[in-house]
Chains A and B, each alone.
Chain A
Amino acid sequence: QSALTQPASVSGSPGQSITISCTGTSSDVGSYNLVSWYQQHPGKAPKLMIYEVSKRPSGVSNRFSGSKSGNTASLTISGLQAEDEADYYCCSYAGSSGVFGGGTKLTVL
């Protein structure tokens, strides 16, 4: 149950696109299409943004998209907006357990 690997921080200017990577192993990300992404603003509960690698819940902007290749999943945010500044976490099913990434702080410059 080792944590998935995410960059500690990413940044971008309004209107730009950014991508956050999430690297696991063949025991989690690589074996299951059960990767999800969460947005967390300070002092708030996490919010589901992407599930099952690339599906968006109702109400989530289509500026958010997800993908996966091998053991690495990615979250892309296009048309960055100030309100996107937050912490982002990936999560994967790992066979009767769940495993999160360490989190990525997104700064909108």
Chain B
Amino acid sequence: QVQLVESGGGVVQPGRSLRLSCAASGFTFSSYGMHWVRQAPGKGLEWVAVIWYDGSNKYYADSVKGRFTISRDNSKNTLYLQMNSLRAEDTAVYYCARDPTKWELPKYYFDYWGQGTLVTVSS
């Protein structure tokens, strides 16, 4: 069965960096686009970033552009989110999620989600 397991969250000071990982199993990871979606405590969902199945294209929300980098290692079935210059408003549970399209342009909906990892930005 499809599994997505995030890791790497924790407490970090403003201005510092953190890298999240998402280990995928149960499907051919290299065939699917992948997203990061976040949810601040008590708030709604916010789309963060997408990466094409082959890593050839990446797009970001305006709120993280220039600070966050999405990447993937298809040989390790792992998705990453490098977060730099972190701000208090980046505090959230970060979910990785699969785009259901294979080898095509992502359709920006999410058929499988991880359980999330909490990132807290605080001094």
Chain A residues with CB under 8 Å of chain B are 1, 3, 34, 36, 38, 40, 45-48, 51-52, 57, 89, 91-94, 96-103
Contact = CB atoms under 8 A, between A and B. Distances in A.
Interface size class of B (residues with CB under 8 A): 20 to 34
A98 to B, nearest CB: 4
Contact of B45 (A38, A51, A96): A38
Given A48-B109, A93-B108, A98 B50 contact: yes
Interface of B: 35, 37, 44-47, 50, 59-63, 95, 100, 107-111, 113-116
A97 B47 contact: yes
A45 B45 contact: no
Given A34-B108, A92-B108, 11 more contacts: A45-B115, A46-B37, A46-B95, A47-B113, A89-B45, A93-B108, A93-B109, A98-B35, A98-B108, A100-B45, A100-B47
Contacts of A3: 44
A99 B47 contact: yes
